[in-house]
Structures are given as structure tokens and as C-alpha cells.
A and B are shown apart, each in its own frame.
Chain A
């Protein structure tokens, strides 16, 4: 059945919404699974959004946690302030969700604004400088939050209504992946790839590199902000220590390991690297006979191994797991598409 043109954009979204609603209802009784999968979802959003800048545009941004922090704190604070109000003609649950969506959008927009402010001056500079500036921005955000009593200062912000659910997290994941995919296969995306390949040549071909780079940066920060907002709504307390340089590096590892430029790679790596510690912890707790000592040691080893993994990856396979390939380029088409000119 052919999909009419006006619905082509929205159909996958509706389909995903339906699938997720079913999944949500089925899995409602497993809080730990919901918690872990929400964590996975947030990391996937972070990785896919960072891939837009680091992968598709070939820049090097290592301050992603800073945008996440902006989103988390703005969304969280907004939710916190609005927790006692409700829209009168809606059931309370719907009203809560509405405010939740608004907070997410606010968080994402604030992060996007920061992306603009950070990106505009620094994207004019050479690659290495962008890395340091983004890192610095992440740190400055963290320090600002630490010194702001209204945001909980160093002790953290707690009491944020926990309105995030399996559905909302994974719906956002889906939207992020969809946007990333559509950017990659669009004319806009082709300009980004051109910048990644050879910036000078792209400029010579008439691509306004700075404008495109800033745009990519802003989109990427928006989603990072949304991820942060989601995060704030399923953890009991957010504090500046959750958004340090280390978190940024974890996302970078995911993107690089998955393949700079591959959305699929980012997703796979994010899922694997988030589930791995939990899986290891469970296995080693069982193996260690209930004593978590071995699991704890394994947990500690995880971090230096990430570092060595990065090094090994760069030496042996710098293009990462998937390179720039995507899974949807490889899988046969499930939905028959009407090709132009054929019956």
C-alpha cells in the first residue's frame, strides 16, 4: 500500500510510537530493566548526536557532557518549579507529561543556544582548538552549576518529578536517530561530509563551512540537551559530578569505537558500552559467589581498558567498527518503495 506523500515523513514516527507503547505496557513491572534501558537510551542519544559533529562533519568536540548538563539542569529545574501545578482540564498524569515535554524542549533549546554560543567563535579555528574549547565549555558549565545555589550547587538538585518512562526515552531515541539519518542522506548532509573530507576544498566549492559547522553543532547540542533532560527525570538526584569530562570521553569512545560517521555504529557502541558494565557486574557477582568484590575490581578495570581500547582502535582500525557504513544501506528493503519510472 503506497504511503501518500504528505504522510511519508511522519509514518515511521507513528509506527515507532505504537511499537514503543506496546513495549512500555509489557515491561511496566520491571523497574531495573526500565532504569538500565533508559540509561542505554540516553547514551544512544548522546552518541548519535555527537556523531553528527564528530563523525559527519569531522570536527572534534569533546565537551558533550556540558550540553547534557545544560539540558538536565534547565529541564530539571523547570520540572521542579512546575511540580505543583497542573492544567485543570487534563488528568494529572497527562498534565505531568505535558510539562515534562515542555521541560525537555526547554532544556534542548537552552543547550542548542549554548551550542550556538560556543560553536560560532570556535568553529572558525583549527580542529585542535575546538577540542579544547569544547572541553573548557563543559568544565565552565560544571563550575557555574557548582556555584549556583538555585541549581543545587555542589550538592545536587533532587526532587525532580520522575516523569521519564520507557516510552518517552526510546521515543526520543527514535526521533534522534531519524533526524541523524535524514541529515546524513540529505543535501545538507552531503555538505557536512564534504567538510569532513576536505574543508578547504569544500569552501572552494562554495560551501559556507562555518555556517554548516555551526548548524551541525547546534543540532547536536539540542539532542544532547534532550538527553540530559531525560536523564534528570529518571535519576533521583543530579549533581555536577555526573557531567564531567569523563562522561564526555565516554561518549567520544562510543562514537569512535562505533565508527566516526556511522549512526548505526554509534548506536551499537552506545548500547554495548552501557550494558557492558552492568553485565560484567552481574556476571562477576554471580561468579564471585555473591561477594561483589570481584565485580567491583572489574568495574574499576573498565576505565583504563577504555583508554587502552581507544589506543588500540586508533592503531589497528581507526575507522571504528562500522566505518561510515550504515545498517540500512546493507539490509534489504523491508518496505517496498515505489521507484520512479517502474511499475
Chain B
């Protein structure tokens, strides 16, 4: 029984991280109708920036609140910039071309990033995994029984940070003018343009927001699992995409619910069978959902207009 509770806690912790990445996917899909394959790798870049910052700060500075904030800020800013560059130079010229073209471009960028970071000349880190410097000293905040169930401080902090970011996003999307513009663009970007919304700018900012969120998620992931290596973004990205699809792609609450669900299912499957099934879980879930309810949990069936 206590195993179950522990798995539950672990699953929620992983799920919230997926949620942050899934939100980025879903937002970008909403405004561009594009699956941004490179999202996971942008996350990876953010983690390395965070790693570099944490390293520079040194042991004393990085465990303070300001140190942690700085690391997050640097990583998110770097990702936002990267997201902007990618959107501006790779996706914008292809906005009116068939979707396949943009998809292939996204894959190309994903490849370039994940393999580029495996090179080891110059500032590039190389393929060998590194340990993310300790930022939050692990202490137990809640222990039940004889260590049957343990809740760690970093799990709670991670959950809080993720929740905070999600609430900020919700507020942004549903209660600000900019959010309204975003939703308008996602509905029909040509008409939104006619209505005087600066579509290019809205899309660019959406991208930057999504990328920044991914950076935050990446840092939480690095804090949780310590190992940092250039291919870490690939699978997290794919799983987050599956989560977004499960929840209904384009729907913000859907992404969150889908991600939590995926995190839990993954944790339970791995916990009760073997860790080598981990990668298959996400895709198995995806296939089931696509067969049963392809528009996702929160999605609306969109009639295709001819």
C-alpha cells in the first residue's frame, strides 16, 4: 500500500514537469497548428544554460533563493531567445506552406540541436552526461511510517513552481488582452490579422513563452534526476506531446490533465513491471487515445471545412 502512495507521489512530480513542457507544445500548436518537434531540445538548451549559471555561481550562492531565481531566469531567458530565433527564421517563412514542410523543418532543428550539443569542441558540452550541481539540498519533509512514504522538499518545491507557472499562464491566456489576441490567432490567424492583431508579434511572443516554460520544466527535471545530457530533451518532448494530444491539443487545461495522467501511468507501469518499458508507455497511451477519442479529453471535434 505504501508503495502505491510513493508511486503516486513520484507520478505527480513527474507529471507536473511534463505538464510544463506540454503547455508549451499546446500553445504553439494552438497558434501555428505546428507540432514543434524542437521543443524538447530547446528545453535541453535551457538546462545547459542553467547548468553553466549554477556552476559559475558556486556552491554557496546557488543554494540561496536568489541564486535559484537567477538560474531559472537565465535559463528561461536563453530559451525565450532561442525560441524567438527559431520561429523568426525557420517557421515564419513557411507559415503559408503545407504543414509537412514546417514539420520537417522542426525535425531538422531538433536534430541540429540535440546532435550539435553532443559535439565537444568550443563551448559545446559533448555527449557525456554531467551532474547538475546541487541547487536544492534534498531533505525529507514528510516521512510516514518507517520510511515507507517519503515526500522530499524538492518534490514539493517543484510542484509549487510548476503550479505557479501554470497559474501565471492561465491568467495570461484567459484574463489579459494579449491572451485574447493569442486565442484569436489560434482560432483563425488570417482573420485575426484583419482585425488588427499583430499576428507576427503574437506568435513570436507565444513561442517565447512556451520555450521559457520548457526551460523551467527542464531545470526541475535536472534537479530531480541530476543527470544532464544532450539527448534528454528528445524523449521528454515526445512524452509531453503525447500528453498534449491526450488532453486535447490546443487546450491549456487539457495539456495539464493529460500530462499528469501520463506521469502517473508511466510511474505505475515502470514501478510494477520493469524500467525498460518506460518509453513504450507514452506511445501506447497515445495509440489507445487516438483509437478511442482522437480529439483528446478536452478537445472539440473539429469539422474539416472543404
Chain B residues within CB distance 8 Å of chain A: 35, 90, 93-94, 97, 99-105, 107-113, 115-116, 118-119, 121, 234, 238, 241-242, 245, 274, 276-277, 279-280, 282-284, 286-287, 290-291, 294, 304, 306
Q: Mark A304-321, 1 if CB is under 8 A from B, else 0.
A: 111111110111001000
How far apart sit A300 and B286, CA to CA, in the bound complex (Å)?
Answer: 33
- A310 in contact with B276 (CB, 8 Å): no
Which of A121, A122, A303, A315 has a CB less than 8 Å from the CB of B93? A315
Question: Is A73 an interface position by the 8 A CB rule?
Answer: no
Which A residues lie within 8 Å of B304 (CB)?
Answer: 200
Which A residues lie within 8 Å of B277 (CB)?
Answer: 143, 147
A135-B35 contact given A304-B111, A307-B115, CB 8 Å threshold = no
How far apart sit A318 and B280, CA to CA, in the bound complex (Å)?
Answer: 33
Question: Is A33 an interface position by the 8 A CB rule?
Answer: no
- B286 in contact with A310 (CB, 8 Å): no
Which A residues lie within 8 Å of B121 (CB)?
Answer: 297
Which A residues lie within 8 Å of B279 (CB)?
Answer: 139, 142-143
- A308 in contact with B108 (CB, 8 Å): yes
18 extra interface residue pairs, beta carbon distance < 8 Å, beyond A132-B241, A249-B107: A58-B100, A60-B100, A60-B103, A62-B107, A136-B242, A136-B283, A140-B280, A142-B279, A144-B280, A147-B276, A200-B306, A245-B234, A304-B116, A307-B107, A307-B111, A310-B104, A310-B108, A311-B108
- A311 in contact with B90 (CB, 8 Å): yes
Which B residues lie within 8 Å of A301 (CB)?
Answer: 119
Separation in Å of the A29 CB from the closest CB of chain B? Answer: 37
Separation in Å of the A137 CB from the closest CB of chain B? Answer: 7
How far apart sit A301 and B117, CA to CA, in the bound complex (Å)?
Answer: 10
- A303 in contact with B111 (CB, 8 Å): yes
Which B residues lie within 8 Å of A314 (CB)?
Answer: 94, 101-102, 104-105, 108
Question: Is A154 an interface position by the 8 A CB rule?
Answer: yes
Which stretch (A123-131, A219-227, A230-238, A324-332) binds chain B? A123-131
- A304 in contact with B112 (CB, 8 Å): yes
Which B residues lie within 8 Å of A70 (CB)?
Answer: none
Which B residues lie within 8 Å of A154 (CB)?
Answer: 276
- A252 in contact with B294 (CB, 8 Å): no
How far apart sit A306 and B116, CA to CA, in the bound complex (Å)?
Answer: 10
| Chain A residue at minimum C-beta to C-beta distance from B112 | A307
